[in-house]
Structure 1
Amino acid sequence: MAEQAERRAPRQVGTVISLARVDADMVPAVGGKAANLGVLLAAGMPVPPGFCVTTAAYRRAAAAAGVQPSEPAAQTRGRLESAPIPEDINEDILAAYAGLGGDLPVAVRSSATAEDLPEASFAGQLDTYLNVVGPDPLLDAIRRCWASLWSDRAVAYRADHGMDQHSVSLAVVVQEMVDADVAGVMFTANPLTGRRRETVIDAAPGLGEALVSGAVNPDQFTVDAATGEILQRSLGDKRTEIGPAPGGGTRLLRRQDAGRKACLTDEQVRSLARVGTRVEELYGEPQDLEWAIAPDGGIRVVQSRPITTLFPLPEPDNHDGGARAYLCASLLQGLTRPLTPMGLASFTLMSDSARSADNGPAAYRSAQIGMRMYVDVTPLLRSKGGRRGLLRAMKVADARSVDVLAYLAADPRFALTRAPKLASLKAGLRASPPFGLVGQILRALVNPAAALERVREADHALDRMLVLPEPASGSRRLDFVERLLTKEITPAVMGVLPPAAAGYVWLGLARLLLGRLAQAGELQAVLRGLPHNVTTEMDLELWRTATSIREDPESVRALTGEDPETLAGRYAQGSLPTVCQGALRNFLARYGHRAVAEIDLGIPRWGEDPAHIINALANYLKLADPELAPDRVFRRAAENAETKAAELAARAARSRGRQLGRTVAHSLRRARETAGMREYPKFRLIAAFAVLRRQLQLVGQELADAGRIAVPDDVFFLDLTEARVALRGADLRGPVAERRQSYLREMRRRRIPRLLLSDGTDVEAAMAGRTAAASSSGGQLQAGTLAGTPASAGTVTGKARVILDPAGAHLEPGEILVAPSTDPGWTPLFMTAGALVMEMGGPISHGAVVAREYGLPAVVGVPDATMRIRTGDTVTVDGAAGTVVLDLSGVSGGGR
């Protein structure tokens, strides 16, 4: 233990150390790259010998050069490049270099203390110099590696990852140069699909620099790591090669006809894959390796780091050990960001209690993966009835998932199992709404007014449940929260669902009766301007709030002249202009329980932080055209919907008789009476969540006062059991800090698998890879056209605004909102948008429903829309055809 402690202390290691003496505990002294190489050497892996110039040397050199923490990065970089290395460090470096064999060619690589770690790879951010020959070039290369810590790209990378710029130090690795015949990179898990135990190897002739820098189109091989089978091979043109130049440095060579033959034999490919497997087993996680094949044919590993971009694996289950499929419930809720641990725990409790009450099997077993909610749908996929029901549900909830699930259905691991018809029927019902609601829905079909009255009664009952008499202890507050989550909330929320369900049944009946008499998008038009939609009512109330503020010049000056965060602070202090303070207070009194990502208990509500709402009000003040005022738009939408319903009924009467016309008219009238209630169950759920959040905040305050957590909101990085343990005296500041770090890391993740397999495969990514070749052939959409699912009819051309997080977002009136997904917290932006494009969702997803009500053209389920469209691009959204056409004649182009 004493020896390990000594090795962890950078100053005690010295300024130069052999890689053979480096171990995993020495990252502060040697950086991530050198530490990994030391581990590989100790394990007997084929790593070229070398030494490390430690972080102690860097710090002393920086001090000698006069580097100041407050100076600009460019100035620091210049000092490190030009200042001489302290003499004793100089001598240590040259002695170690001589020990390698005189003027031996070496590779000089940067090794940062935050590099090649699970949290951040720093790949490509710091400098490497190959074929360095001689003492003076070696010392110069080391200085330039030090300076690269302060390059613009490295500084930006640290800022993007939330790192303190001066918390990172730099060591330098010097290794014997491999005069490679072939070199490349190897991933021990497929970096595109996420599939573990599937090795991907890129290879090119000469030094690996050509491949890493993108100067060559390499050969690529995909290998089944378990069997050694080469699953796929693709030959690149390999027209360029980087090799060592005489006397030092590298040179670019041009090659002719190099693409006709693979640069690796099958046996070399398998040998590399076996090396990759050994390295992965050594570290216990997938690795990204750089390798070279020496002139003697031997493999050399010159670098290994964790693959930081892989989506986490599901926890192993206790089932049959076969492949499992997990559907992302977070995405179905319009949420791409991670959930706090308390938010995840709350949904697990609700899901488990609902399944227990229904005596349901593992068909709805929930899973927490990557701090997001997933559902194990394996039993449904393996059952004919379950698969049919799941596909039917996804068709309206998230249309893109239908294609992904259908693709997975061809996988033999998810083949249908023979089961009695009764079991298949049960599986299908499990993928459908709870059977107990059918009677209530039928009653709502017959008497909508009575159904709405029952909703009001259920509201009063829920309000009574949400009261906890004071004073209450922390333990009692947790009991209250747990009881509501496990027993009270779900039945109460389900009790207000029947009216909306009845509305969509009536709409379905009208669709059936009309058949081909109704054109695409016409029935959607009937659902515009619906009554009883709490989200629409909220947005219109926000518009009325803005209208009242517009009449007061002092309030307008404040909203347009100060940033939303400052104004939110002034609101909390009660120091906003009187009109603005009162109008905002009135709005938040009714809607302050809402928020962006509001299904997460750990997210502050608008009542706690109204910056987002203040920003929306400021945007509304820019809307000058009275015809575009949201209240007028909504009124016109309702009038047009009534007109369209009458038109469809008349069309049915003319074509098939007056009785059918009357039935269609009745069906559409009933649909409009109650379909707007679709948003209400979630509205009530979030109202209940706000009460639970307040109770948990009080528990957090108690724990923070006792020193068991650092701040009250840390309670949301625990679950209920852990909070009870903390109340009994446990100090949980350490686990909370680790979870906050994981949460921030997941916040940066852009791609979330819709459907994830237990081996890590992102099914949608795998599907895209398999169909890429077919997509490039004839019969596809024209260039610049993105396809999705029609959500709200209409065609609009305008400038795109890509928004990943609505907090503080700026949207000019008429701009086309391009978003990953939306929940009610986004809808204030809808009021001034010209159209909506979403990566997620289906015809009844939140964004689609609200867009239809506003008469906003919308296309949902557009893969990678936020990456393929840029802010400022001119796009045409056709909500009936489900297409988004980019104007490729502009400067910004159509993608990235």
Structure 2
Amino acid sequence: MAEQAEQRAPRPAGTVISLARVDADMVPEVGGKAANLGVLLSAGMPVPPGFCVTTAAYGRVAAAAGVQPSEPAEQIRGRLASAPLPEDITEAILTAYAGLGEDTPVAVRSSATAEDLPEASFAGQLDTYLNVVGPDLLLDAIRRCWASLWTDRAVAYRADHGIGQHSISIAVVVQEMVDADVAGVMFTANPLTGRRREIVIDAAPGLGEALVSGAVNPDQFTVDAATGEILQRSLGDKRTEIRPAPGGGTRLLRRQDRDRQDGGRQDGRRACLTDEQVRSLARIGTLAEELYGEPQDLEWAIAPDGGIRVVQSRPITTLFPLPEPDNHDGGARAYLCASLLQGLTRPLTPMGLASFALMSDSSRPAGNGPAAYRSAQIGMRMFVDVTSLLRSKGGRRGLLRAMKVADARSVDVLAYLGADPRFALTRAPKLGSLKSGLRAAPPFGLLRQVLRALVNPVAALERVSAADHELDRMLVLPEPVSGARRLDFVERLLTKEITPAVMRVLPPAAAGYVWLGLGRLLLGRLAPGGELQAVLRGLPHNVTTEMDLELWRTASSIRDDPESVRALTAEEPRVLAGRYADGTLPAACQAALRAFLARYGHRAVAEIDLGVPRWGEDPAHIINALANYLKLADPELAPDRVFRRAAENAEAKAAELAARAARSRGRLFGKLVAHSLRRARATAGMREYPKFRLIVAFAVLRRQLQLVGEELADAGRIQVPDDVFFLDLTEARVGLRGADLRGPVAERRQSYQREMRRRRIPRLLLSDGTDVEAAMAATQAASSAGGRLQPGTLAGAPASAGTVTGKARVILDPAGAHLEPGEILVAPSTDPGWTPLFMTAGALVMEMGGPISHGAVVAREYGIPAVVGVFEATTRIRTGDTVTVDGAAGTVVLDLSCASDGGR
């Protein structure tokens, strides 16, 4: 009865607690590391005994030391490192220490309340002290652990992960020291490829500190968790090791020193673990993963008696989420990231994802169509299940052909996956293949309209204008209207109206690229390299180019007003955006910005997401672009002049190619080439228009959802109106009927912010978590493939011809980005919200994209060299590096002699 009463009562804020009494619910008192160790101990795992100095002790000492939340971190560290400990805390610590044995060597580790959790691991951010011997050194190590909560790296880490600096506390774990013969780390999912149930073990002689700190090149073993089979082993040189020093602390030994001590028995060419030890570690890792229900990152050591000890376990926080299980055929599935194909690395809001799910369902053929049409939401991003396409000869060929122009890098990744027996081609009945092919083909009506546009592009453009008027009528919802009717309106447009309306404006652009393909076919070897790309520069009817040129004209008008120039160059864009909303910008700037936003305020960065504010709501990004334009001093680099020259050069190139064809194959042949290229230029610029009209519609839908959000917020169902974008339409309806949705919204906002920090997004993801591109890169590195390139040369796909050498500027998010005129823009991917930066860029390098991806098209129009599909460009190139971009060869060459440390 007494025990039951103790469980019901609030837990006392003790200062020291045995690890054997710690459980998973005690994170606020003991931190994440200690809580995890307590769970392992309770499950019977081999964890060294010890105790925890709780957050209550830290709180008391910090308060007594006069630590103030407003103080600089450096001052806080100083106060904590020298703080005297209250007598009762000292007594409790030393009593617990004595319980481990007289002057027992211990490891002293920090355990913060936001550490070793699924959201953030804090790996390496806080301090650990090994082989601490004696009471005085123990108390000093505990103080230094407390102080490490306020190191610059820990403060920066919390800021990057959105963790409040003063909402976190710290405990300290004290454990018996393991004088390890061998130690290391173990991941129960492959941290490089993401593949689940594939265990990776790194091991090195001595204490694990050598491996964790990077002081040693370890042995590595990869194990199949299901069978225990060692799939791969790689032996490191193990040139150094860290060992306990007599009397406390550690010492670093070189291999030759260690060999002398051991009579030459050590051999760096031998594995430091036996196969049985590897399998035993793997079994422990599997048990830990099953215990926590998610992949784990464990630190372990092998004691002199041969026993394995687990000294730490935490979730692997970097893995991309798994797809929802789909066991309709029980096999592996492959998912292509549609978000990346749209130029987005960031997540979509739940409402943004829901809108595309509705549009996808509406465009799916009757009877659910082939499996290739299934979409999936993984990691708050859009994916498409391409398993059936990969297993079909025709489907695979079509998919590779589409990726060749949409995202060149994906061609190699898909081809690599094609060798996987799980995705081997399957024989399908001819009738079934024909039906699937017909279902996957564009609607016959669309093909007919493309053919009509081929014959008469002027009439096709007139039909686009008529389709625009029809869509504008659809987008009107007479007021007043209830919230439920607004949701009906949004749902009807998403499921029935928008997709057909967008398809009606597609034929001219499709016809333009058909004519371009015909021109390429006719010219053949007469137009080598990227010559034909030059014909696509300065195209008419490109709404994105027109928008950027209008923004340049806006900047030019502002340049004539000194007061506006002073405001744009002296104040932060966010402040200026507030002034615009208040109507207090200088008159010339206010009027010019209002006129631009009247035409283009519906656009945004990541504009395909309904949950993202439009420029009309938040013009800070456009104001920043205007400020950048004002720095452009050379009139010859003015975007309107550059565009005009690009158009003139394109016309000249088309004439040159036609003349070349006439000389080679006759006058009639030359006329046919000229006609093809002229028709291509007439309508290929319309490529951007279908998406432009989609975003016009999305801006209207967003406004209707905002009004629903205002109704829900007024009723207290959500906190603020924009919370509606963290729901789907069904949930919004439930909210209108009275449900409190604040809890689900808060959880989704937290998930969204976590995904916003994610930089690595798989192009192609398998159902077992494998990032195929990362697996391919690992295979190539292991086999030394790709060594044909010179050092410092990165290969991609040619997208816009020309060669430029300049300073690189790596930009991950265009919002507030600074790009000096002539700098080379290096980005993960781009959508129309990025293009204001293109107008002053010297060249473009992207991790994503193909010859007709958005960034490539706009780069060609501006006449700047571009290379796309460059693997990990934003990490291998750093801001300030001097690089040469060859848009025809598809290469980016780093000048290794003057590589910059900027951004490292």
Superposition TM-score, scaled by structure 2 size: 0.97
Relative distance call for 1:6 and 1:330 in structure 2 (3 A) is: farther
Tell me by how many angstroms 1:429 deviates: 5.6
Inter-CA distance 7–561: structure 2 relative to 1 (3 Å threshold)? farther
Shift of 1:317: 1.5
Instruction: Go from structure 1 to structure 2 and tell me whether the alpha carbon gap of 1:847 and 1:841 turns closer, same or farther (over 3 Å shift).
Output: same
- Alpha-carbon contact 1:793-1:879 (below 8 Å) kept: yes
Distance 1:3 1:600, change over 3 A: farther
Aligned-partner SS, 2:624: helix
Q: Deviations over 1:8-60 (max 9, x none)?
A: 99971411111111100000000000000000011111111111110001111
Asked if 2 retains the 8 angstrom alpha-carbon contact of 1:393 and 1:432, the reply is: no
Moved more, 64-73 or 677-686: 64-73
- Out of 490-499 and 7-16, give the one that drifted further: 7-16
Tell me which moved more, 145-154 or 186-195.
145-154
Give the whole-Å Cα distance in 2 for the aligned partners of 1:6 and 1:517: 87
How far apart in 2 are the matches of 1:229 and 1:5?
50
Is contact 2:127-2:148 (8 Å) kept? yes
Q: Distance in 1 between matches of 2:4 and 2:240?
A: 46
The alpha carbon displacement at 1:105 in A equals 1.1
- Cross-structure match for 1:727: 736
Q: Is the 8 A contact 2:800 2:866 kept in 1?
A: yes
Residues 7 and 63 of structure 1: is their aligned pair in 2 closer, same or farther, counting only changes over 3 Å?
farther
Gaps of 5+ in 1: none
Q: Secondary structure at the match of 2:365?
A: helix
Q: Say if 2:347 and 2:755, in contact at 8 Å, map to a contact too.
A: yes
Q: Does 1:294 align with 2:303?
A: yes
CA distance in 2, matches of 1:8, 1:734: 26
Instruction: Tell me if structure 2 keeps the 8 A contact 1:868–1:895.
Output: no
Contact between 2:390 and 2:423, CA under 8 Å: does it hold in 1? Answer: yes
Matched, 1:589 2:607: no
Helix, strand or coil: the match of 1:358?
A: helix
TM-aligned CA deviation for residue 353 of structure 1: 1.3
Distance 1:619 1:530 in 2: 25
Match of 1:459 in 2: 468
The answer as to 2:781 corresponding to 1:745 is: no
* Structure 2 match to 1:47: 47
Instruction: Provide the rounded CA distance (Å) in 2 between the counterparts of 1:61 and 1:7.
Output: 28
User: C-alpha separation between the residues in 2 aligned to 1:895 and 1:5?
Assistant: 57
Change (3 A) 1:428 1:524: farther
> Does structure 2 conserve the Cα–Cα contact (< 8 Å) formed by 1:7 and 1:13?
no
Contact (CA 8 Å) 2:334, 2:386: kept in 1 or not?
A: yes
Q: Work out whether 1:877 is the aligned partner of 2:885.
A: yes
1:162-207: CA deviations, max 9, x gaps?
Answer: 1111111011111111111111000000000000000000001111
Check conservation: 1:225, 1:273, Cα contact below 8 A.
yes
Q: Distance in 2 between matches of 1:284 and 1:756?
A: 21
Q: What root-mean-square deviation, in Å, do the aligned CA atoms of Structure 1 and Structure 2 show?
A: 1.8
The verdict on how the C-alpha distance between 1:544 and 1:91 changes in structure 2, with shifts beyond 3 A counting, is same
State the alpha-carbon separation in 2 of the partners of residues 575 and 767 from structure 1. 55
How far apart, CA to CA, are the structure 2 residues paired with 1:429 and 1:805? Answer: 40
SS of the residue corresponding to residue 228 of structure 1 reads: coil
| Distance change >3 Å, CA 232–CA 318, structure 1 → 2 | closer
**CA 1:890 to 1:182, structure 2 compared with 1: closer, same or farther past 3 Å?**
same
- Greater shift, 861-870 or 282-291, is seen at 861-870
Displacement, 1:761? 0.2
User: Per the alignment, do residues 434 and 137 of structure 1 end up closer, same or farther by CA in structure 2, a change over 3 Å counting?
Assistant: farther
Is 1:270 equivalent to 2:279 in the alignment?
yes
Q: How far did residue 421 of structure 1 move?
A: 2.9
Q: Is the 8 A contact 1:6 1:12 kept in 2?
A: no
CA–CA separation in structure 2 for the residues paired with 1:544 and 1:80: 58
Offset of residue 435 of structure 1: 4.6
| Whole-angstrom distance in 2 between the partners of 1:84 and 1:436 | 82
Cα distance in structure 1, aligned partners of 2:238 and 2:579: 62
Residue 437 of structure 1 and its aligned partner are, at CA, apart by 1.7
Cα offset, 1:428, TM superposition? 4.9
Q: Give the direction of change, closer, same or farther, for the CA distance of 1:9–1:386 in structure 2 (3 Å limit).
A: farther
Cα distance change on mapping 1:529 and 1:5 into 2, 3 Å = farther
Could you say what secondary structure the match of 1:260 adopts? coil
1: CA distance between counterparts of 2:204 and 2:18? 30
CA distance in 1, matches of 2:722, 2:16: 45
Q: Say if 1:594 and 1:605, in contact at 8 Å, map to a contact too.
A: yes
Query: Take 2:441 and 2:60, find their aligned partners in 1: how far apart are those partners?
Result: 67
| 1:847 equivalent in structure 2 | 855
Alignment deviations for residues 99-143 of structure 1 (CA, whole Å, 9 cap, x no partner): 112211111111000000001001111111111111111111111
Cα drift, residue 361 of structure 1: 2.4
Provide closer, same or farther for how the CA distance between residues 891 and 334 of structure 1 changes in structure 2, counting only shifts above 3 A.
closer
Secondary structure in 2 matching 1:184? strand
Deviation of 1:799 (Å): 1.0
1:564-617 CA deviation, whole Å, 9 max, x = no partner? 111111111111111111111111111000000000000000000111111111
Q: In the comparison of the two structures, how many residue pairs are matched?
A: 893
Q: Is the alpha carbon distance of 1:216 and 1:440 closer, same or farther for their aligned partners in structure 2, counting shifts above 3 Å?
A: same
Of 381, 384, 399, 2:390 maps to 381
Shift in alpha-carbon separation, 1:407–1:895, aligned structure 2, 3 A: farther
Secondary structure of residue in 1 paired with 2:252: strand
1:436 Cα deviation from its structure 2 partner: 3.9
1:79–1:394 Cα change, 3 Å: same
Q: Distance in 1 between matches of 2:588 and 2:5?
A: 63
Question: Is the 1:867–1:895 Cα contact (8 Å) retained in structure 2?
Answer: no
Q: Cα distance, 1:4 vs. partner? A: 10
Separation in structure 1 between the aligned mates of residue 824 and residue 506 of structure 2, nearest angstrom: 32
CA contact (8 A) 2:625 2:836 kept: yes
For 1:680 and 1:827, how far apart are their aligned partners in 2? 15
- Is contact 2:220–2:236 with CA below 8 Å preserved after alignment? yes
Task: Choose which of 681, 691, 710 in structure 2 pairs with 1:701.
Answer: 710
> 2:880 touches 2:901 (CA, 8 Å); kept in 1?
no
TM-superposed deviation, 1:629:
1.0
Residue 602 of structure 1 aligns with which residue?
611
SS of match in other structure, 1:167:
coil
Conserved? CA contact 2:880–2:899, under 8 Å: no
Equivalents in 2 of 1:214, 1:805: separation in Å? 31
Shift of 1:773: 3.8
Q: Is the 8 A contact 1:887 1:893 kept in 2?
A: no
* Distance in 1 (alpha carbons) for counterparts of 2:249 and 2:106: 10
Q: For the residues of structure 2 that align with 1:366 and 1:626, how far apart are their CA atoms?
A: 48
Residue 789 (structure 2) aligned to one of 781, 789, 797: 781
| Deviation string, structure 1 residues 823-844 (Cα, Å, up to 9, x no partner) | 0001111111111111100000
Residue 872 of structure 1: how far off its partner (Å): 1.2
**Stretch moving more, 356-365 or 602-611:** 356-365
Stretch of structure 1 that moved more, 317-326 or 397-406: 317-326
The Cα of 1:431 is off from its aligned counterpart by: 5.7
| CA–CA distance in structure 1, aligned partners of residues 459 and 597 of structure 2 | 30
CA distance in 1, matches of 2:810, 2:134: 52
Give the match's secondary structure for 1:424.
helix
Deviation at 1:73, TM superposition (A): 1.1
SS in 1 for 2:364: helix
Give the drift of 1:716: 0.3
304-313 vs 437-446, greater mean Cα deviation:
437-446
Q: Give percent identity, aligned residues only.
A: 90
CA drift at 1:2: 12
CA distance in structure 1 between the partners assigned to 2:565 and 2:4 by the alignment: 63
Shift of 1:891: 4.7
Question: Secondary structure at the residue paired with 2:99?
Answer: helix
Give how far 1:681 is off: 0.2
| 1: CA distance, partners of 2:854 / 2:139 | 61
Seen in structure 2, the aligned counterparts of structure 1 residues 68 and 94 have a Cα distance that, compared at 3 Å, is same
Which residue in the other structure is 2:258 paired with?
none
CA contact (8 A) 2:413 2:773 kept: yes
Q: Deviations over 1:384-419 (max 9, x none)?
A: 111111001000000000000000000000011111
User: What are the superposed Cα offsets for residues 270-297 of structure 1, whole Å, 9 maximum, x if unpaired?
Assistant: 0000000000000000000000111111
Q: Which whole-Å CA distance do the structure 2 matches of 1:777 and 1:717 have between them? A: 45
Following superposition, the deviation at residue 886 of structure 1 comes to 0.8
Structure 1 residues 429-438 or 417-426, which shifts more? 429-438
Q: Give the match's secondary structure for 2:344.
A: coil
SS at match of 1:642: helix
How far apart are the structure 2 equivalents of 1:363 and 1:84?
A: 67
Moved more, 225-234 or 71-80: 71-80
TM-score relative to the length of structure 1: 0.98
Query: What's the offset of the Cα at 1:776?
Result: 3.7
Distance 1:164 1:779, change over 3 A: closer
The SS at the match of 1:149 is helix
* Aligned position for 2:265: none
* Residue pair 1:788, 1:863 contacting (<8 A) in 2 also: yes
Contact 2:880–2:902, Cα closer than 8 Å, also in 1:
no
Give structure 2 stretches of 5+ with no counterpart.
256-260, 263-267
Alpha-carbon offset, residue 318 of structure 1? 3.8
Match of 2:403 in 1: 394
